[in-house]
Amino acid sequence: VKGEPVNSSRGVSRRRFLLGAAGSAALVSAGRAAQALPAEPEASPAGEATVPAQGEHQAGVDTPLQSAAIFTAYNLVAGITRVEIARLMQLWTDDIVRLTQGRPALGDPVPELAAIPARLTVTVGFGPGVFAAAAMEGARPSWLRPLPAFKGDRLQADWSGGDLLVQLCADDPVTLAHADQVLTSTASSFASVAWQQHGFQRARGMTPDGTVGRNLMGFVDGIVNPVPGTADFDAVVWNPGQPPWLKGGSCLIVRRIRMDLQRWSSLDTRQREEVFGRTAADGSPLSGGSPQDRPDLDARDSSGLSAIPLFAHVRLAAPTSPEERILRRPFNYDSGPIAGGRDSGLIFAAYCANPERQYIAMQRRLADHDLLNSWVSAVGSAVFAIPPGFKDGHYLGESLLKI
């Protein structure tokens, strides 16, 4: 058949089917489409790259930041049982094992799109509703509840809470859209989408791998972070077994923080730097040194004033105790114009073992005093327990849900 793609046996049989089913009109249009649109070329090394889905921890936490993310919260259907939640986890585990390794899911609606894994990771979280639905309140970590109200919060129900969370990250937006379609369709008889947020960093290849990206205010964001593979990272991020089923898991906090970029644009560079306490050019602390140097909070400038202003973001975010540490995995978002401005900002995604010990005091300090608050406000907030990873033959969340 003229115009038949030579490298796709699935394409051939589908076109033969069209010929049989709908006659020559279908053949002609299929042939034209194939001529006009050459098959997607082979995946590049970046497209072929995979992250293992199985292991002690779920992927997508200690994984170097990918260039795009979709965060989807789901609400469980009324009356769902623990056995059904376990069934959903088994189905999702199967989807995850396949999709992250570049293979179509079972019954994949668009198998062609699975061919480019692009470092896809899928990280699943449980909100408080899972424990209520599964009649397992005793297994709910005590910290798994909505964060307390903070000064300046402008939370909207549309961006808050949720029974289940799926964090999808990859270096390609088509891969992400496909993974989202598969997982959401797998979940359809168990749970419905409560909210979804799309986030992005620079596209892979625009900067050297491992470069810390910029937020939409223009500042390098994510410099001070625990380093994967160190004992420090393990202590900050992974749950030590409180409760026991959560050992090797974590806690994910997702805050949707809107930026008033119009008002931010009226500040000059120096004023912006004073808000953060780091330079706009490369993120070096205003106390001096290179971007990787820690801000010296005691340093003074030539006129005797604090080099890092008293209400600068990095001063207030700096830990006041060894426990007050988190892993930040932020993505920018931009949903375009809304009444009175633009809905863009930061999907502030942070991991820690225990938010009550590690996160809440820091957030309260920032909410009360951070200069940055004049230009940002939280419009969404959610907290999830991140179950540990899974091994071959096992499923996500099994340590909680297995009877």
Q: Rule CB under 6 A: is residue 219 a binding residue for ligand HEM?
A: yes
Burial-class residue 196 by CB neighbours within 10 Å (0-12, 13-18, 19+). middle
- H or E segment at 322? none
Q: Rule CB under 6 A: is residue 382 a binding residue for ligand HEM?
A: no
What does the angle CA 133 – CA 135 – CA 136 come to, to the nearest 5 degrees? 110
Q: Given candidates 30, 86, 257, 327, which one binds ligand HEM under the rule CB under 6 A?
A: 257
Amino acid at 286: L
φ, ψ for residue 271, nearest 5 deg: -65, -40
Q: Rule CB under 6 A: is residue 329 a binding residue for ligand HEM?
A: no
148 in Cβ contact with 360 (< 8 Å): yes
Q: How far is CA 98 from CA 95, 104, 119, 125, 361, in A?
A: 5, 6, 13, 19, 40
Nearer to ligand HEM, 198 or 255 (CB): 255
Q: Rule CB under 6 A: is residue 256 a binding residue for ligand HEM?
A: no
Q: In a 3-state reduction of DSSP, which class is residue 359?
A: coil
Q: Which range binds ligand HEM by CB under 6 A, 105-113, 202-210, 222-230, 391-399?
A: 222-230
To ligand HEM, the closest distance from the beta carbon of 144 in angstroms equals 18
What does the angle CA 49 – CA 231 – CA 366 come to, to the nearest 5 degrees? 90
Q: Rule CB under 6 A: is residue 311 a binding residue for ligand HEM?
A: no
Q: Which range binds ligand HEM by CB under 6 A, 49-57, 176-184, 302-310, 360-368?
A: 360-368
Q: In a 3-state reduction of DSSP, which class is residue 308?
A: coil
Q: Rule CB under 6 A: is residue 283 a binding residue for ligand HEM?
A: yes
Selection from 345, 65, 327, 377 nearest residue 201 by Cα? 65
Q: Given candidates 222, 228, 243, 309, which one binds ligand HEM under the rule CB under 6 A?
A: 222
Q: Rule CB under 6 A: is residue 272 a binding residue for ligand HEM?
A: no
**Which residue out of 108, 221, 268, 368 is catalytically annotated?**
221
| x/- letters, 101..140, toward ligand HEM (CB under 6 A) | ----------------------------------------
What CA–CA distance (Å, rounded) separates 330 from 168?
A: 13
Q: Which range binds ligand HEM by CB under 6 A, 89-97, 147-155, 238-246, 344-352?
A: 344-352
Q: Rule CB under 6 A: is residue 224 a binding residue for ligand HEM?
A: yes
Burial-class residue 79 by CB neighbours within 10 Å (0-12, 13-18, 19+). exposed
How many amino acids of this chain bind ligand HEM (CB under 6 A)? Answer: 26
Q: Given candidates 126, 150, 245, 276, which one binds ligand HEM under the rule CB under 6 A?
A: 276
CB atoms within 10 A of CB 64: 11
Q: Which range binds ligand HEM by CB under 6 A, 168-176, 190-198, 214-222, 301-309?
A: 214-222
334 tagged catalytic: no
Amino acid at 22: A
Q: Rule CB under 6 A: is residue 223 a binding residue for ligand HEM?
A: yes
What CA–CA distance (Å, rounded) separates 103 from 126?
A: 26
> Where on the chain is the footprint of ligand HEM (CB under 6 A)?
215, 217, 219-224, 255, 257, 259, 276, 278, 283, 295, 313-314, 317-318, 345-346, 348, 362-363, 366, 376
Residues with catalytic roles: 221
